[in-house]
A = this chain, B = another copy of it.
């Protein structure tokens, strides 16, 4: 089952990189369209009858990250979750704490802010990690009286 994004991912990588295992991981990852852990991915592949070592899955994911083709977040337990990065660049996501579904959010404001902080502090090579979590409309229990809107910090 090929998904457009999978082909794009493959094309974005060096020729010599393409091996049966790596391409297989890419395809399954692209089908997910959401954050998955190495373990989940490995399990998914096993269920599909694709036999690839767990070690290899970890390796591919790390390489993808290094090539800038995947976004990474850490869940509450510190587990790494990967998601193919949209073709047009890096993104930040809003993840539902209930159903775990994620959606990219407009983050220009944060990018700009990070740049300003870098300038104001004299720090070089400033990198940022931003993660948003919440309860999506679908998961919310019919919004009773108490409607804790807004945002708080974890």
Contacts and interface: CB of A to CB of B under 8 A. Distances in A.
A74 B73 CA distance: 11
Contacts of A132: 114, 117, 123, 126-129
A1 interface: no
A55 interface: no
B133 A130 contact: no
B154 A137 contact: no
Scoring A90, A140, A151 by chain B CB atoms within 10 A of each residue's CB, the highest score goes to A151
Query: What's the interface size class on A, roughly?
Result: 35 or more
Nearest to A103: B121
Question: Copy number of this protein in the oligomer?
Answer: 2
Interface in A28-62: none
Contact of A118 (B78, B110, B131, B150): B150
Interface string A61-101: 00000000000001000101000000000100010110000
B153 A127 contact: yes
